[in-house]
Copies of this chain bind each other. A is one copy, B any other.
């Protein structure tokens, strides 16, 4: 199966994705709801949560805001 991303093993991407998934769970928010709130495609959001996407700052900010958080707090949660 071909990889769709060159970043699958990067620890920072994985750490960020886990923080997003964790905070989303704390908010009892589905991936679909977070996708809708952030305006980010659900399958792309899934790849972010798996640490397979090197998202740009603008998407990162939108994800944090859609989770009712800030990007600073989300990065700290991710250990970044």
Residue ranges of A at the interface with B (Cβ–Cβ < 8 Å): 7, 10, 12-13, 16, 54-58, 60-61, 64, 70-73, 75-76, 78, 80
What is the minimal beta-carbon distance from A26 to any residue of chain B, in angstroms?
A: 18
Determine chain A's interface SS by DSSP, over half rule.
Answer: helix
The CA of A71 and the CA of B72, in the complex, are separated in Å by: 7
Nearest B residue to A55, CB-CB: B57
Judge whether B80 and A71 touch: CB under 8 Å.
yes
* Given A12-B57, A13-B57, A72-B72; 9 other pairs, CB 8 A cutoff: A12-B58, A54-B57, A55-B56, A55-B57, A56-B57, A70-B80, A71-B75, A72-B78, A75-B75
